[in-house]
Structure 1
Amino acid sequence: MNQKHILIVGGTGMLAEVTSCLASEHLVTVIGRDPERMAKVVRRNPETCYSLLLDYRSEQDLSKGLQESIKRYGPFKQIIAWVHRDSGKAMQIILNHSSHADVLHILGSQANSEQEKRSLCINEHQTYRQVQLGAIYEHETWRWLTHEEIVKGILTALHQQFDYQCIGMNKEEFDAHKRKNE
């Protein structure tokens, strides 16, 4: 088995299926805050899924946890990070601890992808890509993405090499569609 060390931030909630899928083939360190959800995710692949139970908004805890994981399992080769906008420097701290990684940054529907990217210092050895979670227009109404659509979209994005990909419509597309149909 060709195992690489993958970091998944937010991998106990909507990304739990992504965590389980990747841990079936690779070493995965997953960051989450909820002990019960963490235990449930780790139980699926106890030999290859390792927990970092912390709040990534705590810069000191995040940095210490990342250092410990790297020391124990080796450098991260891939990062999947669903880091919310109110997280302070969390995304930059993750990048600083992942100097040679393929980084997939998951963005919410309201995020400005260009602004997010500009706010980060990305080195020449990192591949930085974004997946934005949008909305779906069907049956003349809007709805949020389902859990399954998010998981499928992220797993698909991992195998493609787009710098930016949106699952559903992002805010600009949504607003333009809404104006067009008013």
Structure 2
Amino acid sequence: MNQKHVLIVGGTGMLAEVTSCLASEHLVTVIGRDPERMAKVVRRNPETCHSLLLDYRSEQDLSKGLQESIKRYGPFKQIIAWVHRDSGKAMQIILNHSSHADVLHILGNQANSEQEKRALCINEQQTYRQVQLGAKQDGENFRWLTHEEIVHGVIDAIEHSFDYQLIGQLVKKGGMNG
């Protein structure tokens, strides 16, 4: 199999366009919880986009699903993971099943990027990078990033090798309007 196997966690929501973009060139396994959104994403590239319908917060389901995907399609070479802070050990489980991967960890506005990285055991064969989603200033107020801004920022991060990339700017809790 010549295609690179990519794992996308959270790739049926705001990252759906990223999933479709990568599935047009690579073999993609996408993790999501919503069957309707998953079907919509997989339908765009049915030959190269494969679903893992599960809640990544279930450590047992996540580990089993990753093992099955690796067995069927080969090891993951790239990981795009939007894993929320309340997900327990999900990010570490993903890393443990991706021993030679380029890992792009997507973080929310309130995450502490250094703390997130320190909490993980990253091996020497893994490349670990972060993209943090901030906000955009709109006049005197801040607004959340649009789907399009997130997609463009994540694709830019995939194409470039920055250890850390911020999309927009970080806003302290309570500093958002809307």
Aligned length: 175
> Please, what TM-score do these two structures have when normalized by structure 2?
0.95
Tell me how far apart the structure 2 counterparts of residues 66 and 132 of structure 1 sit (CA, whole Å). 25
Tell me how far apart the structure 1 counterparts of residues 171 and 117 of structure 2 sit (CA, whole Å). 17
Secondary structure at the counterpart of residue 106 of structure 1: strand
Secondary structure at the counterpart of residue 51 of structure 2: strand
Partner of 1:160: 160
Matches within 5 A, 1:7-156: 7-156=7-156
Tell me how far apart the structure 2 counterparts of residues 143 and 170 of structure 1 sit (CA, whole Å). 11
Query: Where in structure 1 are there 5+ consecutive unaligned residues?
Result: none
Query: Where in structure 2 are there 5+ consecutive unaligned residues?
Result: none
- CA drift of 1:138 comes to 2.2
Secondary structure at the counterpart of residue 30 of structure 1: strand
Percentage of identical aligned residues: 85
Tell me how far apart the structure 2 counterparts of residues 62 and 105 of structure 1 sit (CA, whole Å). 17
Over residues 17-67 of structure 1, what are the superposed CA-to-partner deviations in whole Å (9 max), with x where a residue is unaligned?
A: 000000000000000000000000000000000000000000000000000
Runs of 4+ off more than 2 Å = none
Secondary structure at the counterpart of residue 12 of structure 2: coil
Over residues 130-165 of structure 1, what are the superposed CA-to-partner deviations in whole Å (9 max), with x where a residue is unaligned?
A: 000000112221100000000000000001111100
Tell me how far apart the structure 1 counterparts of residues 52 and 69 of structure 2 sit (CA, whole Å). 8
Secondary structure at the counterpart of residue 104 of structure 1: strand
- CA drift of 1:171 comes to 3.6
Aligned-partner residue type, residue 88 of structure 2:
G
Tell me how far apart the structure 1 counterparts of residues 12 and 126 of structure 2 sit (CA, whole Å). 25
Over residues 60-117 of structure 1, what are the superposed CA-to-partner deviations in whole Å (9 max), with x where a residue is unaligned?
A: 0000000000000000000000000000000000000000000000000000000000
Tell me how far apart the structure 2 counterparts of residues 42 and 87 of structure 1 sit (CA, whole Å). 24
Aligned-partner residue type, residue 85 of structure 2:
R
Partner of 1:170: 170
Tell me how far apart the structure 2 counterparts of residues 162 and 18 of structure 1 sit (CA, whole Å). 18
Secondary structure at the counterpart of residue 79 of structure 1: strand
Report if the CA contact (8 A) 1:2-1:26 is conserved: no
Tell me how far apart the structure 2 counterparts of residues 161 and 23 of structure 1 sit (CA, whole Å). 20
> Please, what TM-score do these two structures have when normalized by structure 1?
0.93
Secondary structure at the counterpart of residue 122 of structure 2: coil
Aligned-partner residue type, residue 151 of structure 1:
V
